[in-house]
Amino acid sequence: MEQAPSGRQPTFSEPQKRTPSEERDPAFWNDMAHRDLDRAIQLQKLNLNVAKNVVLFIGDGMGVTTVTAGRILKGQLQGQPGEETVLAMDSLPHMGLAKTYNLDYQVPDSAGTATAYLSGVKAERGTVGVNCRVRNGVCATQKGNEVNSILVLANQAGKSTGVVSTTSLTDATVASTYAHSASRYWDTDANLPWEAVQNGCKDIAAQLVDSAPDIEVLLAGGRQNFLPQNIPDMEYPNRYGTRQDGRNLLEEWVTRKPGTAQFVWNMDEFNAIDSNKTDYLLGLFEPHHMKFSIDRELDSAGEPTLSNMTQKAIQILQKNSNGFFLLVEGGRIDHGHHANQAVRALHDTVAFDDAIQVAKDMLDMQDSLIIVTADHSHTFTFGGYPSRGNPIFGKTDYNFGFELLDRKPMTSLLYGNGPGYSLSGTREDITNIDTGSKDYKQQSAVPLAHETHGGEDVPVFAGGPMAHLVHGVHEQNYVAHVMKYAACLGEYRENCHTQREPRAARGGVAVRTWDFKTKIIVLILIVNLLPYSPIDSQNAMHNGKR
C-alpha cells in the first residue's frame, strides 16, 4: 500500500468488494496470459490479401487516456468493475502509435491531421486536403497544391465510398475526404473572406455538390451550410441556413445523382430507408453538429446512433462487388473534452466503440481492413489512487490524509486546462457536487474558455489485410499509405503486395535502389563501354582459334 508523505497510513473505502473473486486465483491471470499468447503466436500467419474494403474509424480527440477511461465506463455500464473490459478496438490484433504534430504546430488541430492520415502528407494547421505548400487561410497558395484523399482514390478505382460522422458534414475531419481548402472555416460561402473570393476559392459545402467524388453515403450533421439564409430549418423553424448565394445544396445533391437518391433528416425517415433499393443516401440530422450520445433523447425528431449510421452505410456500400471505403468519425468526443465535460466525451467514446463492433460483425476480416485511430489527444488525465471499480466519474475513494493539502476531495479525471477552473484562489470543494452529471466540468489547472488539444502520440489499432503494417511509432501520414498499399490504391496500384524497392535519403534526394534486372542491364552496358585491353585481344585470338 502507498505510504503518505506525512507517515500516516492511507486507507481505501471498501475496495475489496469491487474486485471479482475469481481474480484472486493466480490461475486466472496465467490462463488469460496463455490465451493471449496463443492469439499472438497465430498472428505470425500474416493476412496478405488485398483489402477489398477499408473502414477508417477516427475518434476525434481520443487519446490513450480517453481509451482507458472509456474502457472502464463501458464495463461499468455493463455492471462490471470496468478495468478488465475489452473494447472492440482493443480486440484488433495490431497496434502502433502515430505522431500527430502539424507542419507548423507541436500540438495539432483536426484539419491538418485529417489531411495527413487521409491523403498521406503532413500539412499546416487549419488546412483541408492540400499539401504543405499551402498557407493557412491564404487562398492564393491553394491552386495546384490539392491532394487526393484515399476516398478519392477508392472512387477512381471503382469502389463505393461513404462518410459517417457525429459532427457537421463540412467539419475538418470529414471535409478532408472530399474538399480542398486553405481554411477549415470556409465551410459556407458566408465565411469566405474577400481574398478567397477574389482568388476563386470555393466553400466546402459547395465543393461537396459541385466537385467532390461520387460519394454514395453521407450521414452527419450540418444542414445549415447547405441551405440559403431565407429558408428555415426543417426541424427548428426559428433557425435558418447560412448560404448567401441562394443555393439549396440539399436539393441539388439529390437531383444530380444518377440513381435512387434520398435525403433524410430524422429517425423515422432514416429507418424507412431500404438499403437494397437505395443507391445514394444523404442524412443530415442537425443544423450543426449532432447531439452528444448522452443527449440524444432530447431530440424530438430523433437521431440515429453512430452504430445505426455505420450499419446503414455498410449495407448500402457493400452492394458494390469492387468493395468500398468508409470513414466513420466519433467527432463529439473532442467537443466534450473542449468543454471539460468528461461524461459527454466518454459516453461518445463508448458509442464510437459500439460502432466499431458493428463493422467487425458485418465484415469479413479476411478481405476488410479496419483501422481505428485518433487525430489528436487532449489535456485529459486519469490519476489519483482510486480503488478497483471506483466509478469512473466519481471522487477518488483514497484517503490521502494530509497529502490533500486543501482537505477537499478530488476526481480521478482532471484536465490540464479549460473552463473547469476556479479564479477564487482556492480549489472548489466538490464534496456535495454530483461529478457524474453530464453537465459537470472536471476541474482544470489553467483557466481557459475552451480546453486545448494534447500533443502526445495517439494509438492506431488495426485488423484485416496488411494490418501488421501498423506497428511501432510512425508519422501520422503513414496511416494513409498503409490503407492505400493494402487496397492497391494510388501510387501502390501497380506494385502493391510486392517487395517494394527501399529508398535511401542521400543529400536530401530520395534514391531508389536497383532491382536485379536493372543491375544486369547496367553491368552489360559497363562491360561494353570498357576500353579495349591486351587481355581482350588475347581472349579474342584464343576464341578465334577455337
307 Cβ contact list (under 8 Å, min separation 6) = 351, 354, 355, 357, 358
SS3 510: strand
The 3-class SS string of 444-481 reads EEEECCCCCEECCCEEEEEECCCHHHCCCEEECCHHHH
Binding positions for Mg(2+) are 60, 171, 173, 329
In 3-state terms, what secondary structure has residue 329? strand
Cα(52)–Cα(464) distance, integer angstroms: 10
Amino acid identity at 248:
N
Calculate mean pLDDT across residues 105-134.
Answer: 97
Q: What is the DSSP letter of 418?
A: E
**Would you state the pLDDT for residue 402?**
56
* DSSP conformation class of 159: -
Angstrom distance (rounded) from CA 271 to CA 324: 22
Q: Name residue 393's amino acid.
A: F
Residue 425 has pLDDT above 90, yes or no: no
Q: Mind listing the domains of the chain with CATH numbers? A: 47-378+458-492 (3.40.720.10), 380-387+396-451 (no CATH)
Query: Residue 10 pLDDT more than 80?
Result: no
Catalytic residue among 13, 91, 110, 300: 110
Q: Which residue has the cell 585491353?
A: 533
Q: Where is the binding site for Zn(2+), in residues?
A: 60, 334, 338, 375-376, 453
pTM score of the predicted model: 0.88
Helix and strand element counts for the chain (H, E): 15, 19
Percent of the chain whose pLDDT exceeds 90: 78
Counting Cα atoms < 13 Å in the Cβ hemisphere of 276 gives 0
- Residue 510, pLDDT above cutoff 90: no
Statement: residue 333 has pLDDT above 80: yes
Q: What is the largest CA-CA distance in the chain?
A: 109
110 is catalytic: yes
pLDDT of residue 521: 59
Read off the pLDDT of each residue in 492-503 and give the average, rounded to a whole number. Answer: 65
Chain segment 289-302, per-residue pLDDT in tens: 999 999 999 998 99
Q: Return the bridge partners of 146, or none.
A: 130
